């Protein structure tokens, strides 16, 4: 697991609430063979109208064992499994592939007991890849999956609570002939004045016959601002993304998307979304992030209104340790509508305090040519989880940009003060030879790094002060025909 703290938290409380695949997600399909040699396919079971509970656990997990031995699943399987009403299937999926068959049978060294004896429902061993497909983060994770493939994290609840989830109307198998349903809004979430926003939505066929048409409207304040007649051939439980067209907005707007054509079930005909008006900005953008203990999970991009990437940092590219501040200057090429998007590979944002680290932050601001603050485009304080967040910017004026500023304007050392090593980040307008030299305050040379010929653009170099005494040092950077010197402090 990416965060060992997640596992520790699960071991301590057993009922962690951190999001993995969120409720309402489509369950990934899997085919697996249980320890008795019987093969099972999730979607085949769902197509038969079965409801499925999957219990992702590990043999060494205390809370997993406590729930496993509570008798809840045995009672559910007896009442609603193949020998009961035959509407439910349950799978125990051992998700830590490092455990052994002996652990599963209670005789190994990484086990809480005998998981096999007395278990009436199928056990699947070596299910780590399935757990990964479900974005697993902690044990136990228990999902209820409905015939329509939509899952709910049901957790370690009692028999009645489990039954209420899989017996609910929205978890029933398809029975009606014509039953289109709207799922999540997938279109644009930011709007620039006068600029069109692409509107789209996921639609599922919950009818027993193939869906061939539907009329979908975008409604604001009870009025339709966009209408689209969809046609196709969508099979039962099939999902399609419907591109509805574009609409313009002059303010922050909440809207609903509704199926307005006749069908057999109106209860699932609506979805909702919102558009935020983009912040007025200049073309010179400053991005600053304070990282938690997992900076490699962070990524970001700036894209134009056509989705073309202007600048990006891929997940896995950011280094450092908790509390380090990293920053970038970005110049977009022209006026227009742009989107800043920040992502986190783990889905918990820079909210590190929940894992025993610190909460980081991210700010995105625009500046004029004199590096005077103009506006804040995005401001995140680390207080909540996210997998991806976006903020729009309406660039109304073009600055000369970082590429026309002096080397001293675009050179940053972070962290500073630092221990052992730090990052030197700078941008060059032209390709050329580059070197870095560091001196102590009596003029002795401490570091001499020849960087060779660098292309124009943004660069990051690690300054290694290992074995050097604490104190203040002068770092001189020569790059692109320019020179700048800065003070750094080694703790």
Q: Which of 242, 277, 312 is the last residue of a domain?
A: 277
What's the number of domains the chain is made of?
Answer: 4
User: Is there a single domain that holds both residue 8 and residue 136?
Assistant: yes
pLDDT at 15 over 80: no
The rounded distance, in Å, linking the Cα atoms of 303 and 308 is: 5
CA dihedral angle for residue 397, residue 398, residue 400, residue 405, rounded to 10 degrees: 80
Q: How many CB atoms lie within 10 A of CB 426?
A: 24
Q: What does pTM read for this prediction?
A: 0.67
Top-confidence residue, 340 or 397: 340
Residue located via tokens 């409604």: 219
User: Is there a single domain that holds both residue 295 and residue 263?
Assistant: no
Q: How many CB atoms lie within 10 A of CB 53?
A: 23
Mean per-residue pLDDT, 140-166: 96
Percent of the chain with pLDDT over 90: 66
**Rg (the chain; Cα; Å):** 28
User: Is there a single domain that holds both residue 30 and residue 165?
Assistant: yes
5, 352 in Cβ contact below 8 A?
A: no
Residue pLDDT, tens place only, 303-312: 988 889 999 9
Looking only at the bridges linking them, the beta strands covering 51-57 and 141-145 are antiparallel
Locate all alpha helices (DSSP H) within 61-188, ordered by sequence. Answer: 62-68, 72-80, 101-104, 128-133, 159-166
User: Is there a single domain that holds both residue 271 and residue 284?
Assistant: no
Please tell me the predicted confidence (pLDDT) of residue 410: 65
Residue pLDDT, tens place only, 421-438: 888 888 887 788 999 999
The rounded distance, in Å, linking the Cα atoms of 417 and 360 is: 18
User: Residue 46's domain spans which residues?
Assistant: 4-171
In this structure, what CATH number is given to the domain that contains residue 123? 3.40.30.10
User: Is there a single domain that holds both residue 138 and residue 99?
Assistant: yes
User: Is there a single domain that holds both residue 390 and residue 287?
Assistant: yes
Summary mean pLDDT of the chain: 90
Q: Which of 403, 422, 453 is the last residue of a domain?
A: 403
Concatenating the DSSP letter of every residue in 204-242 gives: EE-SSS-EEEEEEEEEETTEEEEEEEEEEEEPTT-EEEE
Residue 100's alpha-carbon distances to 65, 68, 235, in angstroms, are 16, 18, 41
């Amino acid at each position: 697991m990416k965060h060992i703290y997640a596992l520790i938290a699960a071991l301590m409380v057993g009922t962690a609430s951190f999001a993995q695949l969120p409720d309402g997600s489509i369950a990934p399909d899997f085919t697996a063979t249980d320890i008795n040699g019987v093969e099972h396919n999730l979607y085949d079971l769902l197509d038969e109208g079965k409801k499925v509970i999957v219990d992702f656990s590990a043999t060494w997990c205390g809370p997993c064992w406590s729930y496993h031995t509570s008798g809840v699943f045995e009672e559910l399987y007896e009442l609603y499994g193949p020998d009961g009403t035959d509407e439910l299937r349950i799978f125990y999926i051992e998700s830590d592939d490092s455990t052994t068959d002996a652990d599963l049978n209670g005789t190994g060294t990484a086990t809480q007991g005998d998981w096999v004896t007395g278990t009436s429902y199928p056990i699947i061993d070596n299910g780590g890849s399935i757990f990964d497909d479900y974005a697993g983060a902690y044990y136990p994770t228990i999902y209820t999956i409905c015939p329509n493939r939509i899952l709910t994290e049901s957790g370690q609840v009692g028999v009645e609570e489990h039954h209420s989830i899989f017996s609910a109307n929205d978890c029933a198998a398809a029975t009606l002939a014509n039953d289109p349903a709207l799922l999540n809004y997938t279109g644009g979430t930011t709007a620039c004045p006068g600029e069109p926003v692409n509107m789209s939505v996921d639609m599922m066929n919950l009818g027993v016959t193939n869906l061939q048409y539907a009329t979908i409207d975008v409604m604001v304040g009870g009025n339709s601002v966009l209408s689209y007649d969809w046609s196709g051939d969508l099979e039962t439980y099939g999902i399609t993304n419907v591109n509805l067209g574009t609409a313009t907005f002059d303010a922050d707007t909440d809207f609903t998307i509704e199926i307005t054509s006749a069908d057999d079930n109106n209860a699932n005909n609506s979805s909702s979304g919102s558009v935020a008006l983009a912040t007025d900005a200049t073309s010179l953008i400053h991005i600053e992030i304070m990282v938690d203990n997992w900076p490699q999970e962070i990524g970001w991009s700036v894209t134009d209104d056509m989705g073309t990437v202007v600048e990006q940092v891929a997940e896995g590219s950011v280094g450092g340790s908790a509390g380090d501040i990293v920053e970038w200057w970005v110049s977009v090429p022209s006026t227009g509508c742009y989107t800043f998007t920040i992502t986190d590979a783990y889905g918990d944002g820079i909210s590190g305090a929940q894992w025993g680290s610190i909460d980081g932050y991210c700010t995105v601001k625009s500046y004029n040519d004199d590096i005077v603050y103009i506006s804040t485009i995005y401001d995140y304080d680390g207080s909540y989880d996210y997998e991806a967040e976006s903020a729009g910017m309406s660039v109304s004026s073009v600055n000369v940009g970082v590429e026309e500023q002096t080397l001293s304007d675009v050179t940053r050392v972070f962290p500073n003060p630092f221990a052992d090593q730090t990052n030197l980040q700078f941008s060059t307008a032209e390709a050329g030879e580059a070197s870095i030299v560091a001196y102590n305050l009596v003029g002795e040379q401490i570091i001499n790094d020849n960087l060779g010929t660098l292309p124009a653009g943004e660069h990051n170099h690690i300054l290694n002060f290992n074995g050097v005494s604490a104190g203040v040092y002068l770092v001189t950077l020569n790059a692109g025909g320019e020179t700048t010197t800065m003070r750094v402090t080694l703790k």
